């Protein structure tokens, strides 16, 4: 890193060469870059996503709804953001912000698009009357924590995660700045979970499903290699116990691997169209099925 201090110009200009690891997909303008038709499956809900923390929230909720007996069958299609799938014309029609997850709800007389993960969680929870109280203080508390996650996680992902794991160089100032904030956020959660079993109270809710993929995974050491040790996440004992409890739920174990295209092959289910896909269509199983006997 140069010792010459950076002096911002009077007018910022985009230089793709300085984009780092994600230079091929980051740009300062919105809109589609190419024409691409999105597939449509047989179920009422069509999800277009990737198993990032924001994507996991929705597939976890779908699997929890199905486990609870709701008619929430869905098709989950992989959107490869590394290849720019999010800038395809049909995807931009569903989400003008070109971010995953995006949902088309075809269960009613007219298709409804839903984008932003919290909006999708609330839409589905309200539709099925599950994992979100219908009214009163309990409902408000769930929404409080759902919005807390939406406002806080960018400091974890775009702040700490980026500079700790993805930036082209290790820079002390941003790592220290965002580490401090993430540890403060973990302390917020730890104090909350010291007096109740779930984030918003006595009942498991979309608040837990929203926060766990970000902060549960961080605490369990499954995001940003080396970050759990660096941040001493095991010291947040209430968060750790909660994270382990959520991970033990079968629906969470299923939901977290839907649209996953990275990691161990047995934890990759690129597309999900039926409950049997978890047993038959993970990448380790597909590899076995396509082997030709010697």
Q: What is the mean pLDDT of each run of 10 residues along the chain (294 residues)?
A: 81 80 82 97 98 98 98 98 96 98 97 98 98 98 98 97 95 97 98 98 98 98 97 98 98 98 97 98 84 44
Domain boundaries, the chain: 136-250
> Based on the number of CB atoms within 10 Å of its own CB, is 69 exposed (0-12), middle (13-18) or buried (19 or more)?
exposed
- Which of helix, strand or coil describes residue 77? strand
**What sign does the dihedral 50-55-56-59 (CA atoms) show?**
negative
Residue ranges of E strands in 40-196 = 45-49, 74-78, 102-105, 112-115
CA gap 219, 217 in Å, rounded? 5
Say what the pLDDT of residue 292 is: 43
| Model pTM score | 0.95
CA gap 114, 105 in Å, rounded? 7
End-to-end CA distance of the chain: 54
Between the alpha carbon of residue 263 and those of residues 52, 78, 256, 283, the distances in Å are 12, 15, 12, 10
128: tokens are 């099925």
CA gap 161, 226 in Å, rounded? 11
CATH of 136-250, one of 1.20.1050.10, 1.10.110.30, 1.10.3720.10, 2.115.10.20: 1.20.1050.10
CA gap 199, 235 in Å, rounded? 18
CA angle 109, 113, 116 (to 5 degrees): 150
Say what the pLDDT of residue 25 is: 82
């Amino acid at each position: 890193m140069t010792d010459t201090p950076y002096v911002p110009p009077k007018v910022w200009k985009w230089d793709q060469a300085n984009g780092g690891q994600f230079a091929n997909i980051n740009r300062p303008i919105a809109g589609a870059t190419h024409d691409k038709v999105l597939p449509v499956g047989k179920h009422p809900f069509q999800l277009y996503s990737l198993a990032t923390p924001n994507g996991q929230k929705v597939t976890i909720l779908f699997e929890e709804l199905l486990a609870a007996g709701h008619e929430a069958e869905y098709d989950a299609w992989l959107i490869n953001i590394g290849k720019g799938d999010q800038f395809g014309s049909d995807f931009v029609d569903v989400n003008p912000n070109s971010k995953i997850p995006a949902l088309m709800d075809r269960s009613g007389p007219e298709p409804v698009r839903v984008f932003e993960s919290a909006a999708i969680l609330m839409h589905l929870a309200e539709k099925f009357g599950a994992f979100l109280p219908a009214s009163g203080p309990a409902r408000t508390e769930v929404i409080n924590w759902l919005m807390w996650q939406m406002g806080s996680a960018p400091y974890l992902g775009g702040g700490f995660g980026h500079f700790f794991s993805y930036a082209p160089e290790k820079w002390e100032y941003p790592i220290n700045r965002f580490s401090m904030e993430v540890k403060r956020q973990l302390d917020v959660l730890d104090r909350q979970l010291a007096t109740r079993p779930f984030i918003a109270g006595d009942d498991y809710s979309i608040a837990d499903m929203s926060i766990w993929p970000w902060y549960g995974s961080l605490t369990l050491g499954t995001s940003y290699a080396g970050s759990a040790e660096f941040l001493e996440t095991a010291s947040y004992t209430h968060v750790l116990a909660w994270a382990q409890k959520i991970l033990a739920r079968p629906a969470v174990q299923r939901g977290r691997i839907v649209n996953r295209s990275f990691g161990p092959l047995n934890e990759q289910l690129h597309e999900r169209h039926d409950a049997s896909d978890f047993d038959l269509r993970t990448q380790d199983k597909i590899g076995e099925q396509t082997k030709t006997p010697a």
